[in-house]
Amino acid sequence: MRNIFLFIRRFFNLLLFFVLQGTAIYILATYNKTHQAFFASAANEVTGSISSKYNAVDYYFRLKQTNDQLAAENARLHNELSTSFQNPDTAHVLKIDSLLTDTLHRIRKFNFLEAKVVNNSISDENNYMTVHRGALQGVKNGMSVIGPDGIVGRVIQVSDNYSRVMSLLNHKSQVSAMLKRGFYQGIINWDGKDPQYIQLRGIPKSAQVRKGDSVLTSNLSGIFPPELMVGTIAGIDSDPSTSFYILNIKTATNFSTVQYVYLTENLLGEEQEKLEAKTPKD
Amino acid sequence: MSSLLKNIIRFVFFILVQAFVLDKVPPLHQYVKPIFYFLFILWLPFNINRSWQMIIAFVFGLCLDYFSGTPGLHSIPCVLIAYLRPFLLSILLPRETTETSYAEPSIKSLGTVPYGVYILLLTFIHNSCLVFIEWLQFGDFVFFIGKVAATTGVSLLLIFVTELLFPRKAKYRTNAA
């Protein structure tokens, strides 16, 4: 027994080194697996409030760009209003099939919350954002995040007043997307090289692909509302070992200037997941 | 100013500079990333207990991790250099009683060449460890070599500029203090 104590006293520093390294590796490993960090919500509140103070200054320098972005988005939404269209044929009456939709209330699938970006990184290998809206304001884990110009990422941690967003510029981010021309489905991820470009994989070589084509969120994504802008094709690489393209996509969202985002969740997603889980696996 | 107060101010200052200045710099290239915060650990006083050095480094790394979003990523290299620092100092320190007459490592207390070696080695170890963790998750070997070389170069440049801008008065420790 005495020898054990002597041993511990002799190698106390080495043992402490291993204990601390082990703790750090354990924290990193669990975070990589589950995105659940230790003291995450307390730490999120503290770093979030410091970040929002910093952002109060930083935001001032970007007012003009943010204003332009929001005005352009308003114009786009005005163009989609039903009052912007006139029916040339007065005899033609649009009828809603009452068998498919409830006439008393239509089912809402997506609900949007607006949020201010208070912290944003683009120079790391895995980039995250902090937005000033949290569990008290109705944010939940897994909500999708959309900017004025295109999609931004997903919520991965929520504290009372702040939430942390994994942006598209993250090695762990995966988003289902499709080409506007031909509706070919693929997966968006990021290779870590340039924060202006993300990669779309899984588009077969039989697809007609041209530079400048739009890439939209797919109908199968389930998390993002369908047909939102992701970006435009900037470069076409064909992977020689498979029959798929690797497309370089210029992001629609400018990640270095984004200041306001919308958080949304698929209100029917839970029901869909429940149904899909019931499918027999054999 | 007492040594404790000075180091508490440095702790906050280095984290804020790294999180809100250097991490906000638009990236020049994937490999070129300014990393600078670990200078806090290199500047810790000589006379701190070795166990405390590691615990301080762990907490320091974890604080930065919560700002940058990946808990554990920066604490691992911080604890590593805090563990290796005393060994390196005991090799580099002149035989005379520098350790008892100066408070912390600086150009004056160690001499230009030993201080340069001290900074160079620990910067290299820190950045290699940090990039190695990233390399395990993604990337190829060129990524590892390129990023270690580029970040070490940028870090050394930043430390050099800091030494020029903020010359620390390496005062003799006296019995009265």
Q: Decide if the complex's ipTM is over 0.90.
A: no
Rounded Cα–Cα distance for residues B94 and B76 (Å)? 30
Radius of gyration of chain A (CA): 24
Report the amino acid identity of residue B21.
V
CATH architecture classification, A175-252: Beta Barrel (2.40)
Q: Are B35 and B22 spatial neighbours (Cβ–Cβ below 8 Å)?
A: yes
- Using DSSP's 3-state secondary structure scheme, residue B148 falls into helix
| Whether the predicted pLDDT of B98 surpasses 70 | no
Q: What is the pLDDT of residues A37-87, one digit of tens each?
A: 667 778 888 888 888 888 888 888 888 888 888 888 888 887 777 666 666
Mean pLDDT of A88-98: 56
Side chain identity at residue A274, one-letter code: K
Are B25 and A123 within 8 A, CB to CB?
Answer: yes
Closest CB to B33: pick one of A17, A32, A123.
Answer: A123
Domain definitions of chain A by residue range: 2-34, 175-252
**Would you say residue A135 has pLDDT above 80?**
yes
Select from A170, A163, A174, A172 the least CA-distant residue to A132: A163
Q: B30 and A193: CB-CB below 8 Å?
A: yes
Q: Residues of A70-92 as b/e, b for ≥16 C-beta within 10 angstroms?
A: eeeeeeeeeeeeeeeeeeeeeee
Q: Is the pLDDT of residue A136 over 60?
A: yes
B134 touches chain A (CB under 8 A): yes
Nearest CA in chain B to A123: B27
Q: Which one of A12, A15, A17, A257 would you mutate to disrupt binding with B, by most B Cβ within 10 Å of its Cβ?
A: A17
pLDDT above 50 (res A99):
yes
- A155, A265 Cβ separation under 8 angstroms: no
DSSP-based three-state secondary structure for A214: strand
The dihedral over CA atoms of B149, B156, A121, A24, expressed in degrees to the nearest 10, equals 80
B78: helix, coil or strand? helix
Distance from CA of A15 to the nearest CA of B (A): 10
A106 pLDDT more than 70: no
Residue A98 confidence (pLDDT):
52
What is the DSSP-derived secondary structure letter of residue A203?
A: E
Cα separation of B144 and B157, whole Å?
20
**DSSP 3-state of A189:** strand
The per-residue pLDDT for A225 is 87
Which residues neighbour A145 within 8 Å (Cβ) at sequence distance 6 or greater?
A129, A131, A151, A152, A153, A154, A155, A165, A167, A261, A262, A263
In DSSP notation, A10-37 reads HTHHHHHHHHHHHHHHHHHHHHHHH---
For chain B, state the CA radius of gyration: 16
Question: Does residue B177 carry a pLDDT above 50?
Answer: no
Q: Which residues of A touch B (CB under 8 A)?
A: 12-13, 16-17, 20-21, 23-29, 31-32, 37-38, 40, 43-44, 46-47, 51, 54, 58, 119, 121-128, 164, 171, 192-195, 256
pLDDT for A223 beyond 90 = no
**Does A23 have pLDDT greater than 80?**
yes
Residue among B23, B58, B138 minimizing CB distance to A24: B58
Asked if the Cβ–Cβ distance from B76 to A28 is below 8 Å, we say yes
The answer to whether B136 and B106 are in contact (CB under 8 A) is no
Contact in structure between A245 and A144 (CB atoms under 8 Å): no
Our measurement of the distance from residue B165's CA atom to the centroid of its chain's CA atoms, rounded to an integer in Å, reads: 17
The alpha carbon of residue A197 is apart from the nearest alpha carbon of chain B, in Å, by: 12
Are the C-beta atoms of residues B52 and B7 closer than 8 Å to each other?
no
In the three-class reduction of DSSP (H, G, I as helix; E, B as strand; rest coil), residue A164 is classed as: strand
Which residue in B50, B61, B75 is closest to A13 by CB distance?
A: B50
Residue, of B34 and A100, whose pLDDT is higher: B34
Q: Which residues contact B90 (CB under 8 A, 6 or more apart)?
A: none
Nearest to A125 among B61, B80, B134 (CB): B134
Q: Do A192 and B30 touch (CB under 8 A)?
A: yes
Query: CB–CB of A135/A263 below 8 Å?
Result: no
Spell out which residues of chain A touch residue B90, defining contact as CB-CB under 8 Å. none
Under 8 Å between Cβ of B172 and B101: yes
CA distance, residue A99 to nearest chain B CA (Å): 49
Q: Quick check: B72 pLDDT over 70? A: yes
Q: If you average pLDDT over every residue of chain B, what do you get?
A: 86
Percentages (nearest 5) of helix, strand, coil residues in chain A: 30, 30, 40
**B71 to A121: CB separation less than 8 angstroms, yes or no:** no
- In this prediction, residues A249-257 reach a mean pLDDT of 91
Q: Does B71 touch chain A (CB under 8 A)?
A: yes
Task: Give the containing element (helix H, strand E) for A151.
Answer: strand A151-158
Q: How confident is the model at residue B8 (pLDDT cuts 50, 70, 90)?
A: very high
Q: At what angle do helices B50-68 and A40-60 cross, to 10 degrees?
A: 60
- Give the minimum alpha-carbon distance from A282 to chain B in angstroms, rounded to a whole number: 33
* Domains, chain B, with CATH or none: 3-165 (1.10.1760)
CB atoms within 10 A of CB B28: 12
CB atoms within 10 A of CB B116: 15
Chain B residues closer than 8 Å to A192 by CB: 30, 138-139
pLDDT for B5: 92
Burial zone of A210 (CB within 10 Å; 0-12 exposed, 13-18 middle, 19+ buried): exposed
| Contact call for residues A193 and A212 (beta carbons, < 8 A) | no
**Shortest CA distance from A41: residue in chain B:** B66
Closest CB to B83: pick one of A17, A32, A54: A17
Q: Do B73 and A28 touch (CB under 8 A)?
A: yes
* Interface residue B21 vs chain A (CB under 8 A): no
**Is B77 an 8 Å CB contact of chain A?**
no
Interchain CB distance below 8 Å, B30 and A46: no
Cα dist from A204 to A95, A179, A207, B83, whole Å: 39, 11, 6, 52
Burial class (CB in 10 A: 0-12, 13-18, 19+), A116: middle
Average pLDDT, rounded, for chain A: 85
Rounded distance, CA A41 to CA B140, Å?
34
